[in-house]
Chain A
Amino acid sequence: MSHSTKNRNPAYTPKDATPERRFPLRELVLFGALLAAVLAVYAAMGAAYSTRMLVEAACYAILALGLTIQWGYAGQFNAGVMGFVALGGFCAMLFSVPVNDAFWGTELPGELGQVLLYGIAATLIVVGVTKLDRFGVPKKLRTVLAIVIGIVLYLIVISLLREVTSQIQSQAGFIGGFGLPAWVGWIVGGALAGGVGYFIGHVCLGLRSDYLAIATLGIAEIIKAFLKNSDWLTRGTATVSPLPWPTPGPAELGFTLSRAIYLSVTAVVIAVIFFLLHRAYHAPWGRMIRAIRDNEVSSAAMGKDINKRRLEIFVLGCILMGLGGGMLGTFNSLFDPQGYLPLNHTFLVLVMVILGGPGNNLGTIFGAVAVYIIWIMSEPLALFLMQLAVTLGENAFGWEAPSNMDSRALQARVLVIGMLITLVLRFAPKGLLPEKIKTHG
């Protein structure tokens, strides 16, 4: 597969090589409107606030790019974006937080390492037992043996682990970080999210597409439960803060400037991802992926390894989600496992992708920024509307409003997000900036 046109037969000029140029009116109008909205926010809310909003929107754009790969390129629905985002945030925390001497100065790291070694040894033993049938042990006996030994070893390892972790918690608080630059954490976060994605994808991608949605939904909850309850690792609900930035922090440069520098870092990352995705989309690999999405049977008939390609796509998307999650976590400068909500980190990203245009990277970025601005601005709006309703109700009907109106007002946003998903699916399933399907012929 050569990318250059040098050694191509001059008689052969595929339509693909000279795409029809169209004036991108729709793109210009939409991005112009977006720019106007951003400027309006700057004028109304001040530079520091608006820059923060832009950085967060940029991080969400990375998440949305991850989801658009999975949903737009390959038609896989990941209902657990939150889990991968949380993994990225966790890694950013673990790698960038300063070293905790109260932990590393004691014998506890050795004990923890010992337990981990026990765990590996136990896994190896169980794997070994499952292979016993090759040495003439009957298969049923092997299965029973493997299950019994697995349960016993698991109980031993888990109780040792519980002992060590409770000691860590009581003596050192939590294990602290590694004191490395934050970008190491982002990369590892991406890798870890990719690893989890590989596991899930390996199990589910050969089956019905619904099963992937169910399994990702589950893994996201499990990751959150783990991060929330492993106080020795993450301090759980006590939260870790502050997380050091890779760029100069607000203490040195002030809020606006430091956030602007962070924004430029995220913009560079998005630009790199965008460029690479653009290349991949128009490369033979991208064509193959779309062929599989649009007609699985015929691509299988042409000898494409469907499950392998699907796994590639899914893992790639998860990596981007982990990376974006890391950047988002570092920017918030706070690791709070309970702050990861399926609403914000899964459904909002989903809305960004399906509204912006699944499979169209530019549309996805547009959707991410636009939806995030609407989301952020809807909070004061919802509170205002609810206040209005309460005042009206009290004055006109003598209705006594419940005390927790504020939290209820925010629930109205859940309603709106849900409505948006169903309406977009119904009336504009291709999004505002639809994927451009090339026709060859």
Chain B
Amino acid sequence: MNELVFFINNVVIAGSVTGSIYAIGAIGVTLIFSIMRFAHFAHADIMTFGAFMVLLLTTAFPAVGASIGVPTALIMLPLAMLLTAALAVGIDKAFYKPLRAHGVKPIVMVIGSLGVTLMLQGLIRLFSGTGGQSLYVDDRKEIFRLALPFEGVRAPIVITEPQIYLFVITLVAVVALHLFLNRSRLGKAMRAMSDNPELAQASGINTNTIVAVTWVIAGALAAIAGTLLSLDVTFKPDLSFFLLLPIFAAAIVGGVGHPYGAIAGGFVVGFAETLAVFNWNVLLRPFRDSLPTWLELPSNLAFVGTEYKIVVPFFILVAILVWRPTGLFKGKVI
């Protein structure tokens, strides 16, 4: 049973955490992809920017959270979402819109977004330095240890406070997005534009508004993902670096332009990562005595070492591009 608890801690919880973060990030990427038809490479850095805004605000007013009883960073999150959304809209106005107006190929937009990536990275590092910093400036990170009511189980299930917030906020964000896309006028217009931009424009939808709304949503979601990730670990300026490939893999696995697919893809990639670095020998340990003697298991039965974690999203990406380039949920743009 201890092994099972170990499995839950290291795979179920860890996988859900990374999966949620990838999912929120991938939703933004997939929305941008479906409205503006290009892979937005700067998305992971917008996430980092959101987390950095939270860090700045929390450092400026460290004592706000204590009065209510939640971490200050969480109270600052809505503000950071606003700032990040404004940044995303501003970036679009300054860099992407002129390119779009020139009618360039999507790949030029990709290069432009790479330039934006570098600018954001440079700016963030210029102001934050290159080291890691905790978002818990004045608060303490609570760790919950849930002991299981079974005989002989010594190890508790460990879950931290930011992880609980992460699950709750992910759920809220996904439900809100669902309601927005299906019930509101703007959301429906967005879906129409992602289906057929010309037709949408011809039927009187203001495409400029839709583009701005897309950036607002993508920026706000990116701020959520970045902040929650930094809460769970620490804030690092090169956070985005490890996020970019998994997020794109998630968006493509889910089918590009498919927000629900992106959520599924995020969890697929997140769980695949944790399962691949999990040492399976731990689970086989209880059966060690019943195994035949010639079968001597090595002590490390992980598929890849943690240092090669980045291989996992890449191979998922390659596999999906080879066998099902439209993604699991039949995305629109190939």
Q: Which residues of A contact B (CB under 8 A)?
A: 75, 77, 79, 154-155, 158-159, 162-163, 203-204, 207-211, 213-215, 217-219, 221-222, 225-226, 228-229, 343, 347, 350, 354, 402, 404, 407-408, 411-422, 425-426, 429
Known contacts A215-B317, A422-B112, A426-B95; decide if A208 and B106 are in contact (CB<8 Å).
Answer: yes
B275 → chain A closest CB, angstroms: 11
Contacts of B311 in A (CB 8 A): 222, 225
Give which listed residue, B108, B111, B119, contacts A350 with CB less than 8 A: B111
Counting from the closest, the 5 A-B pairs by CB-CB distance are A418-B118, A415-B122, A421-B115, A414-B122, A418-B119
Q: Are A210 and B38 in contact (CB under 8 A)?
A: yes
Taken residue by residue from 97 to 140, chain B's Cβ proximity to chain A (1 for < 8 Å, 0 otherwise) reads as 01100101111101110111111111101100111000000000
Task: Kindly state whether residue B305 has any CB partner on chain A within 8 Å.
Answer: yes
B299 → chain A closest CB, angstroms: 9
Q: Are B95 and A415 in contact (CB under 8 A)?
A: no
In angstroms, Cα B113 to Cα A421, docked, is 9
B33 → chain A closest CB, angstroms: 8
In angstroms, Cα B104 to Cα A425, docked, is 10
Give which listed residue, A229, A407, A414, contacts B308 with CB less than 8 A: A229
Closest to A77 in B: B107
Taken residue by residue from 280 to 316, chain B's Cβ proximity to chain A (1 for < 8 Å, 0 otherwise) reads as 0000000000000000001011010101101101100
In angstroms, Cα B130 to Cα A354, docked, is 29
Contacts of B22 in A (CB 8 A): none
Closest to B131 in A: A404
Closest to B325 in A: A207
A-B contact pairs, 25 of them (CB 8 A): A77-B107, A155-B301, A204-B321, A209-B110, A213-B41, A214-B252, A215-B317, A217-B245, A218-B317, A221-B245, A222-B310, A225-B311, A228-B307, A343-B118, A354-B111, A402-B129, A404-B130, A408-B126, A411-B122, A415-B119, A418-B118, A421-B115, A422-B116, A425-B104, A425-B108
Give which listed residue, B108, B123, B245, B334, contacts A429 with CB less than 8 A: B108
Contacts of B122 in A (CB 8 A): 411-418
Closest to A236 in B: B307
Known contacts A215-B321, A219-B314, A222-B311; decide if A422 and B126 are in contact (CB<8 Å).
Answer: no
Known contacts A213-B41, A218-B317, A426-B99; decide if A421 and B121 are in contact (CB<8 Å).
Answer: no
Task: Kindly state whether residue B244 has any CB partner on chain A within 8 Å.
Answer: yes
User: What would 9 more interface pairs be, CB under 8 Å, given A154-B303, A418-B117, A426-B112?
Assistant: A163-B298, A209-B105, A210-B107, A214-B248, A215-B321, A415-B118, A415-B126, A417-B115, A421-B114
- The interface centre, meaning the residue of B105, B112, B115, B308 with most chain A CB atoms within 10 A of its CB, is B115
Q: Are A429 and B104 in contact (CB under 8 A)?
A: yes
Main secondary structure of the interface of A (DSSP, over half): helix
Interface residues on B, range: 35 or more
Closest to B40 in A: A210
In angstroms, Cα B300 to Cα A303, docked, is 53
Q: Are B125 and A408 in contact (CB under 8 A)?
A: yes
Closest to A347 in B: B118
Q: Are B317 and A425 in contact (CB under 8 A)?
A: no
Task: Kindly state whether residue B158 has any CB partner on chain A within 8 Å.
Answer: no
Q: Are B313 and A418 in contact (CB under 8 A)?
A: no
Main secondary structure of the interface of B (DSSP, over half): helix
Taken residue by residue from 208 to 246, chain B's Cβ proximity to chain A (1 for < 8 Å, 0 otherwise) reads as 000000000000000000000000000000000000110
Contacts of B41 in A (CB 8 A): 79, 213, 217
In angstroms, Cα B38 to Cα A414, docked, is 23
Give which listed residue, A159, A226, A408, A425, contacts B111 with CB less than 8 A: A425
Q: Are A408 and B129 in contact (CB under 8 A)?
A: yes
In angstroms, Cα B321 to Cα A159, docked, is 29
Give which listed residue, B39, B298, B334, contacts A214 with CB less than 8 A: B39
Q: Are A210 and B298 in contact (CB under 8 A)?
A: no
In angstroms, Cα B252 to Cα A440, docked, is 42
Task: Kindly state whether residue B333 has any CB partner on chain A within 8 Å.
Answer: yes
Contacts of B301 in A (CB 8 A): 155, 159
Q: Are B310 and A225 in contact (CB under 8 A)?
A: yes
Closest to A413 in B: B122
In angstroms, Cα B98 to Cα A133, docked, is 54
Known contacts A221-B245, A222-B314, A411-B130; decide if A209 and B112 are in contact (CB<8 Å).
Answer: no
Contacts of A421 in B (CB 8 A): 111-112, 114-115, 118
Q: Are A209 and B118 in contact (CB under 8 A)?
A: no
Closest to B247 in A: A214
Give which listed residue, A203, A226, A404, contacts B321 with CB less than 8 A: A203
Task: Kindly state whether residue B202 has any CB partner on chain A within 8 Å.
Answer: no
In angstroms, Cα B99 to Cα A19, docked, is 33
In angstroms, Cα B323 to Cα A203, docked, is 10
Q: Are B125 and A207 in contact (CB under 8 A)?
A: no
Closest to A417 in B: B118
- The interface centre, meaning the residue of B39, B99, B111, B322 with most chain A CB atoms within 10 A of its CB, is B111
Contacts of A162 in B (CB 8 A): 298, 300
Taken residue by residue from 135 to 162, chain B's Cβ proximity to chain A (1 for < 8 Å, 0 otherwise) reads as 0000000000000000000000000000
B284 → chain A closest CB, angstroms: 11
Contacts of A417 in B (CB 8 A): 115, 118, 122
Contacts of B117 in A (CB 8 A): 418
Contacts of B129 in A (CB 8 A): 402, 404, 407-408
Q: Are B115 and A425 in contact (CB under 8 A)?
A: yes
- The interface centre, meaning the residue of B107, B114, B300, B334 with most chain A CB atoms within 10 A of its CB, is B114
In angstroms, Cα B125 to Cα A414, docked, is 9
Task: Kindly state whether residue B318 has any CB partner on chain A within 8 Å.
Answer: yes
Contacts of A412 in B (CB 8 A): 122, 126
Contacts of B107 in A (CB 8 A): 75, 77, 209-210, 213
Known contacts A225-B311, A347-B118; decide if A411 and B125 are in contact (CB<8 Å).
Answer: yes
A313 → chain B closest CB, angstroms: 14
In angstroms, Cα B318 to Cα A218, docked, is 10
Q: Are A407 and B130 in contact (CB under 8 A)?
A: yes
Give which listed residue, B105, B119, B244, B252, contacts A75 with CB less than 8 A: B105
Q: Are A208 and B126 in contact (CB under 8 A)?
A: no
Contacts of A211 in B (CB 8 A): 39, 252, 321, 325
Closest to B125 in A: A411
